Amino acid sequence: VEQRLYLGLDFGTSGARYALIDKEGKIRAEGKREYPLYMSEETIDWVKSWRSTLFGLLEDIPVSFRPAVASISIDGTSATTMIVDSKTGESLCKPLLYNQSCPEALPIVKAIAPANHTVCSGSSTLCKLVSWWSSSDAPNISAVLLHQADWLLWLLHGKLGVSDYNNALKVGYDPEVESYPPWLLSQPYSSLLPRVQAPGTTIGSIKESIRTQFGFPEDCVICTGTTDSIAAFLAARANQPGKAVTSLGSTLAIKLLSTKRVEDARFGVYSHRLDDKWLVGGASNTGGAVLRQIFTDDQLEKLSQQINPAETSPLDYYPLQDVGERFPVADPKMEPRLHPRPESDVEYLHGILESIARIEANGYNLLKELGATPVEEVFTAGGGSKNEKWIKIRERVLGLPVHKALQTEAAYGAALLAMKGAFAQ
Ligand code: ADP
């Protein structure tokens, strides 16, 4: 008999992927699909596009592996919101995408939520719900709110109205007390809120029709998911307090596993629950986008080779693409600082990489000051993670072991959630 396998699907901003892993965490199959751009009424029909991508990815899984799939989980973009009919599951409006803002709903949300709550942002799930509620004959319709991942999972298990506490954070769910807060439950639209479980909890069996169509086994279960950025963190398997993942992409984002929940709206710092721990995050506007404005990726590689990472650069920059910083310094008027530029490009790049490393170190220090578990070890994801010299510079500046994360794909993190759900059975 083939070893049991666990399937994770990631629905990210630019496309979707799957990863099929075994219980040792080895990838047995993986694949990727772009979202097809079906149009309806001159806009993209995301419902159709995501559905066809989901079933397309299931078709991409080698037939020989399918009978071994014990469980499936899915991550989606955070705050991507759908309102569906509570009986048929049919979409009652176009999906409201993660980055879509509902400014007209913000004053209404601010009037009911505590100051600086995560829902107090125009693109929060709650603003999207309030916007829908106030713009249609909504009160007469029996509807349910689902996040993108919830809805995709529903296509597989068929039980309407289930979410996880990572996706539900931006609609106002409190994962610490495991319920929606009273100020939210007293609103007329609270009947639309899905019930919430821990990520990686078994929801039920896969639908019989889908099971037989694709050849999944009879005991294949569907498990609650998470958001795409949390799934990417899970992929790195930084699963002890004090372990962290720095993402060096266009911007710099840090995520630290902590025993304590910390929040500070001034710095955009907040915590997601992960079982009995908290995932504390902060995002700076510095990062690789500035590097790309100055150097090509090819130059970055060649110049980096000539850097001596043991040497401290005397250059003190604050690389930003635009004016303004939020974390680890909250200053909307902060100016980018990239001068003086030395004659040598090697020295210049060394100065920039080291300056970004100092911002990273300040970020982890700030999280500690706010009460999080002190960082002990850093894994790295994103385009900058392949730069070995930068890793050495960061080890010196942070005074900590720094490694490239072995796995960084969100689909891999979703597969780990599927495994968690299957093991808890
Ligand atoms: P995104 O956040 O856009 O998904 P990626 O994770 O793909 O970004 O990372 C892209 C970034 O990686 C670019 O902004 C680029 O400056 C940076 N990058 C690429 N190669 C290197 C390198 N060798 N050293 C440092 N940074 C690099």
Residue 320 · residue 329 · CB < 8 Å: no
- Range(s) of the domain holding residue 280: 238-405
Distance between Cα 384 and ligand 1 center (Å): 5
**pLDDT at residue 41, as a whole number:** 86
Residues with CB under 6 A from ligand 1: 249-250, 288-289, 291-292, 297, 300-301, 304, 382-384, 386-387, 390
Band of pLDDT at residue 138, cut at 50, 70 and 90 = confident
| Residues 200 and 318 reside in one and the same domain | no
For a substitution probing ligand 1, which of 14, 250, 305 has the most ligand atoms within 8 Å of its CB? 250
Distance between Cα 252 and ligand 1 center (Å): 10
Distance between Cα 45 and ligand 1 center (Å): 31
Instruction: Give yes or no for residue 1 having a pLDDT over 70.
Output: no
Give the three-class secondary structure for 393: helix
Average pLDDT of the chain is 96
| Residues 385 and 245 reside in one and the same domain | yes
Distance between Cα 53 and ligand 1 center (Å): 27
For tokens 């993660």, the residue is 98
Q: What is the distance, to the nearest Å, from the Cα of residue 122 to the centroid of all Cα atoms in its chain?
A: 18
- pLDDT tens for 93-131 read 999 999 999 999 999 999 999 998 999 999 999 999 999
- Listed range (57-61, 65-69, 135-139, 252-256) with the worst mean pLDDT: 135-139
Amino acid identity, residue 35?
Answer: Y
Distance between Cα 251 and ligand 1 center (Å): 9
Going by CA atoms, what residue is nearest to atom 25 of ligand 1?
384
User: Distance between CA 82 and CA 99 in Å, rounded?
Assistant: 14
Cβ partners under 8 Å of residue 202, min gap 6: 71, 221, 222, 223, 421, 422, 424, 425
| Residues 400 and 416 reside in one and the same domain | no
| Residues 81 and 143 reside in one and the same domain | yes
Band of pLDDT at residue 141, cut at 50, 70 and 90 = confident
| Residues 134 and 280 reside in one and the same domain | no
Instruction: Give yes or no for residue 358 having a pLDDT over 60.
Output: yes
Distance between Cα 150 and ligand 1 center (Å): 31
Other C-beta atoms closer than 10 Å to the C-beta of 204 total: 14
When divided into structural domains, the chain yields a total of 2
| Residues 415 and 388 reside in one and the same domain | no
Q: Show the tokens assigned to 420.
A: 């968690």
Which CATH number do you get for residue 54? 3.30.420.40
| Residues 157 and 292 reside in one and the same domain | no
User: Distance between CA 233 and CA 319 in Å, rounded?
Assistant: 25
| Residues 13 and 128 reside in one and the same domain | yes
Band of pLDDT at residue 46, cut at 50, 70 and 90 = very high
Distance between Cα 388 and ligand 1 center (Å): 13
CA-292 nearest atom, ligand 1: 16
For a substitution probing ligand 1, which of 246, 284, 291 has the most ligand atoms within 8 Å of its CB? 291
User: Distance between CA 48 and CA 367 in Å, rounded?
Assistant: 41
Give the three-class secondary structure for 197: strand
CA-295 nearest atom, ligand 1: 16
| Residues 204 and 291 reside in one and the same domain | no
| Residues 30 and 173 reside in one and the same domain | yes
ipTM comes to 0.97
Instruction: Give yes or no for residue 202 having a pLDDT over 60.
Output: yes
**What DSSP element (H or E) covers 43?**
strand 43-44
| Residues 376 and 343 reside in one and the same domain | yes
| Residues 204 and 189 reside in one and the same domain | yes
- pLDDT tens for 376-403 read 999 999 999 999 999 999 999 999 999 9
**pLDDT at residue 135, as a whole number:** 82
Distance between Cα 319 and ligand 1 center (Å): 14
Cβ partners under 8 Å of residue 350, min gap 6: 307, 311, 313, 315, 393
User: Distance between CA 156 and CA 254 in Å, rounded?
Assistant: 33
User: Distance between CA 86 and CA 214 in Å, rounded?
Assistant: 27
Proportion of the chain above pLDDT 70, given as a percent: 100
CA-250 nearest atom, ligand 1: 2
